[in-house]
Structure 1
């Protein structure tokens, strides 16, 4: 039930033998775990000591693939070389790809406070509450990252919203799925708002509220969840 979504191999430059491997995998067994809502992605790092003929294996679980990539990049993976390793990746849109790439290279900027994956054929959604240790001036210090999977159309979207407090973020996730509960936008920094007002007479925001994904398949550096049902 483990599905490889992205992989990178690194060879020893002197011997050209495989020295390191980085994997993003989806763990389908979590669907039947005793505890509902667990993170379904794993980042796997394998280091090989070619002289001793041994290897070291380490892994970390994450609620979305972009955060699994983040963990691997922090351990030496090349962001541009984590290639998709699935035959039929889900389609998504540019806003999702941009946010995934941002999270993958954000380092330790975001502290994950809570997450939950709703795993059912008609309601496959993941939310993450995170605190931002380096918010831009004027931005809220708490974010919700929200992944919405459309299993029928084999597509998904990832969006983010801004909140003043963790309590406000929890209030939003408690009403997830209600039509009168849109994801609040992440406010832009004052300089961006001023520039946007001068050009368009409106306040600029980072990403729109969640909506259906109707774009082509993700590029090679954006691993996605496999179609499982």
Structure 2
């Protein structure tokens, strides 16, 4: 959370928040459960204006807030109770939060399901440690300014280890939206890894960029929208869980 005060008073003029809405687990399957909230207060008129944007992952909620003047460091959650992640995940989150409108979101899906194999097969309910937790999010995005040799479509995949209180965020490259959607049919499966971003070796990329006179890419403030996509999840029982 970030709060801005009036220089002449201790009263707040603006607030930026990243929040989790646990009720979304009961909404349309796959709905975004996070949101960025921006509150602007007119102290003279005694009024306020509130805007919000739903997002599938924290980094995209931050992206929306940063475009409205938030300091990324102040809208980054800091809590010992939050799930941890590795360095590649942190770097990707920071890049997405500061990517401006480079990535246009085509679709996303958030899963927060608890699977009981015994119950689904007709057996008696199992103990809690036998349950299978499926907390994950995939995002399909089009890169507005892909570098030479990179696929123009990305899939960002966040996989949460519920019991281990950790998660990872990774990205893969695809030649088109159809290929990205096809990957999401088995998102997270061990035999379905995310493909690499590059379709040309570094030397060829460098030569192609030089020949084309490719300019350096600058980031600008975002346009981030996500469209929930239905998921076939027969036999799975959703349970609200705040991450």
Task: Give every structure 1 segment of 4 or more consecutive aligned residues whose post-TM-superposition deviation is greater than 4 Å.
Answer: 188-195
TM-score scaled by structure 2?
A: 0.74
> Is the 1:129–1:169 Cα contact (8 Å) retained in structure 2?
yes
Alignment counterpart, residue 13 of structure 2, candidates 9, 12, 19: 19
Greater length-normalized contact order (CA 8 Å, ≥ 6 residues apart):
2
Is the contact made by 2:149 and 2:205 (CA closer than 8 Å) also made in structure 1? no
How many residues are treated as equivalent by the alignment?
A: 192
When residues 24 and 178 of structure 1 are mapped into structure 2, their CA distance, relative to the original with a 3 A threshold, is same
Cα displacement (A) at 1:14:
3.2
Q: Which residue does the alignment assign to 1:138?
A: 149
Paired residues for 1:39-188 under 5 Å = 39-84=32-77, 86=79, 88-121=81-114, 122-187=133-198
Q: Which has the larger Rg?
A: 2
Give the aligned CA root-mean-square deviation in angstroms. 2.2
Tell me the SS of whatever aligns to 1:80: helix
Change beyond 3 A, Cα 1:41–1:16: same
**2:3 counterpart residue number:** 9
Given the two structures, how large is their TM-score scaled by the length of structure 1? 0.78
Q: 1:191 to 1:95 in 2, by over 3 A?
A: same
Counterpart mapping for 1:196-207 below 5 A: none
Change (3 A) 1:227 1:91: farther
Counterpart CA distance in 1 for 2:203 and 2:10 is 48
- 8 Å contact kept, 1:46–1:55: yes
Distance 1:194 1:143, change over 3 A: closer
Structure 2: give runs of 5+ residues left out of the alignment.
115-132, 207-239
Where in structure 1 are there 5+ consecutive unaligned residues?
Answer: 1-6, 196-225
CA distance, structure 1, for counterparts of residue 100 and residue 22 of structure 2: 27
SS of 1:170's partner is helix
1:167 counterpart SS class? helix
CA distance in 2, matches of 1:140, 1:133: 11
SS at 2:85 equivalent: coil
For residues 205 and 170 of structure 2, the distance between their equivalents in structure 1, rounded to whole angstroms, comes to 24
What is the rounded CA distance, in whole Å, between the counterparts of 2:175 and 2:205 in structure 1?
21
